[in-house]
Structure 1
Amino acid sequence: MTENFGLPSDEEAPLTRSLTLMGTGTSVGVPMIACDCAVCTSSDPRDQRTRTGVAIRNGDRRFLIDAGPELRLQLVKARIKQIEGVLFTHAHADHIMGLDDLRIFGFRQPDPIPLYCERVVEVGIRRTFSYAFSDDDSLHSRPRLVFRTIDESPFELAGLTVQPIRLLHGRLDVLGFRIGDVAFCTDASAIPDRSWPLLENLRVLILGAIRDEPHPTHFNIPQALEVIERCRPRQTYLTHISHSLPYTDTNSRLPDGVDLAYDGLTIPLDELSVE
């Protein structure tokens, strides 16, 4: 590991610009249900991987990327008390099923929580969480949410410029996001030609790499290394990791400048170290 990153909380960390990987596991998480393999029973906390979740900090402002099934636990662990929105890469269950846990933020602020996503993702979220967007009277609490449609054009959020990056997840169009010289690209199996320039001159690339063996909708380790060789970031962290990749053993065979990510890994968005 080339830098000493920690998990800053809203209460304890200095006000910095950072990206925290709250979850780094595949759609089934690690430990996986009913599995007794070496990784699922590992005592190394870096082998315990919740589903995808990212928290972006810009001083005292926050937003998230994706809202996976463990979102409540991730937010409690990071002690995040306020957000200005959520970006979505796509509408698969492991990226949206924590949506209802956004209710607490809507209770504490006057305006609904903005959800930044493509129109097709909005359709999927509305279908899955129909109760949240119903006009029917109800005595039950609902998350207060509002959609903000995005495409591949850059936009501003919490004082930061966010550049969407088109990726392919099997046959599905999904988005990655670049903020400054840090890019988050999970759940990808191919990168369209027009997206490669957006991956140039990166200090940190966070890239999905599910396992060693080929997969129909995700990069495996060899394919991820090919991407890294082409765009040449200074440091790469592999995410969306299955239980077939033990943290310590896998890192020992990865090239310099490439490491497995782990839940709680925090990466500065400026060229500064985290205190």
Structure 2
Amino acid sequence: MRITLLGTGTSQGVPVIGCTCEVCRSVDYRDKRLRVSVHLQVDGKSIIIDTGPDFRQQVLRERIKTLDALVFTHEHKDHTAGLDDIRAYNFSQHKDMPIYAEERVLEQLKKEFSYIFADYKYPGIPQVQLHTVRNEPFEVEGVSFTPIRVMHYKLPVFGYRVGDFTYITDANFISEAEKEKVKGSKVVVLNALRQEPHISHFSLQEAVNLLEELQPEQAYLTHISHLLGQHREVEPQLPDFIRLGYDGLQLEL
């Protein structure tokens, strides 16, 4: 499996429009964060989790020429806004795009992108196949996914485990039962928004505490805001098995 972090930023991205803090003025490429997304290449399949507003830029940057399916964690705009750009894959691959998400998320996509699902379809719009995800294992183009239920304040969100890799974003609570699904993962990617506590995301210390409990071989933090601090200053403070994710980071499993 090859894992590429397409984006590791929070909903505003980094730098933030109009901000002049040290992080937003940083020239370190690791401090430039697009909205959060991840690309999985596994068993010959190309799968992306979440299509945020930067989806087009991300797939062009990583030269992702084929895409077999999309999987969504939840319905917030910073995770769904780029859906229209799958049209290019429809055209080049001559097939509809399979989309996997829970029913609530699929219904929101139908509202946000109503033209895709209209009775009269304008020529050239995205072509999709919808698949409903429940809190039980399912297959995406032959690749096994295990949903992990987490809470984003009061909003239920899915993280996903694929083999020895677990990806969790937009969370500030995971039940003991759901933690059991994560344990044994070799690599965990987990959200850590900022230094201070937040109503709907893990803070840096909360994420570190959880990862020390889960004990993966390696962990990376994502969904990072400019309030976390500069990459070069924060990362040396972390336990050895935890690193800060950054856009374009590739992992092999």
TM-score bucket (shorter structure): over 0.9
What is the CA–CA distance in structure 2 between the aligned matches of 1:59 and 1:205, rounded to whole Å? Answer: 19
Deviations 1:95-114 (A, max 9, x none): 00000011111112232101
What residue identity is the alignment partner of 1:126? K
Matched, 1:168 2:151: yes
Deviates more, 1:51-60 or 1:86-95: 51-60
Kept in 1, the 8 Å contact 2:43–2:143? The answer is no
Match of 1:91 among 65, 75, 79: 75
Residue correspondence of structure 1 range 228-267 to structure 2 within 5 A: 228-244=211-227, 245-267=229-251
Kept in 2, the 8 Å contact 1:58–1:159? The answer is no
Quote the sequence identity (%): 40
SS in structure 2 of the partner of residue 54 of structure 1: strand
Deviation at 1:218, TM superposition (A): 0.2
Deviates more, 1:210-219 or 1:245-254: 245-254
What residue identity is the alignment partner of 2:232? T
What residue identity is the alignment partner of 2:166? A
Give the paired residue count: 252
SS in structure 1 of the partner of residue 246 of structure 2: coil
Deviates more, 1:113-122 or 1:245-254: 245-254
Deviation at 1:157, TM superposition (A): 2.2
What residue identity is the alignment partner of 2:248? G
What is the CA–CA distance in structure 1 between the aligned matches of 2:177 and 2:134, rounded to whole Å? Answer: 14
Deviations 1:94-137 (A, max 9, x none): 00000001111111223210110000000111111111111125
What is the CA–CA distance in structure 1 between the aligned matches of 2:203 and 2:95, rounded to whole Å? Answer: 41
Matched, 1:50 2:34: yes
Tell me how large the CA RMSD over aligned residues is. 1.2
SS in structure 2 of the partner of residue 67 of structure 1: coil
Match of 1:198 among 166, 181, 191: 181
Matched, 1:130 2:114: yes
What residue identity is the alignment partner of 2:196? E
SS in structure 1 of the partner of residue 208 of structure 2: helix
Kept in 1, the 8 Å contact 2:115–2:121? The answer is no
Deviation at 1:252, TM superposition (A): 1.4
Deviation at 1:61, TM superposition (A): 2.2
Kept in 2, the 8 Å contact 1:62–1:158? The answer is no
Matched, 1:80 2:56: no
Kept in 1, the 8 Å contact 2:193–2:223? The answer is yes
Matched, 1:154 2:137: yes
Kept in 2, the 8 Å contact 1:25–1:49? The answer is yes
What is the CA–CA distance in structure 1 between the aligned matches of 2:175 and 2:80, rounded to whole Å? Answer: 24
TM-score (structure 2 length as normaliser): 0.96
TM-score (structure 1 length as normaliser): 0.89
Q: Which runs of 5+ in 1 are unaligned?
A: 1-16, 271-275
SS in structure 1 of the partner of residue 119 of structure 2: coil
Q: Which runs of 5+ in 2 are unaligned?
A: none
Matched, 1:211 2:194: yes
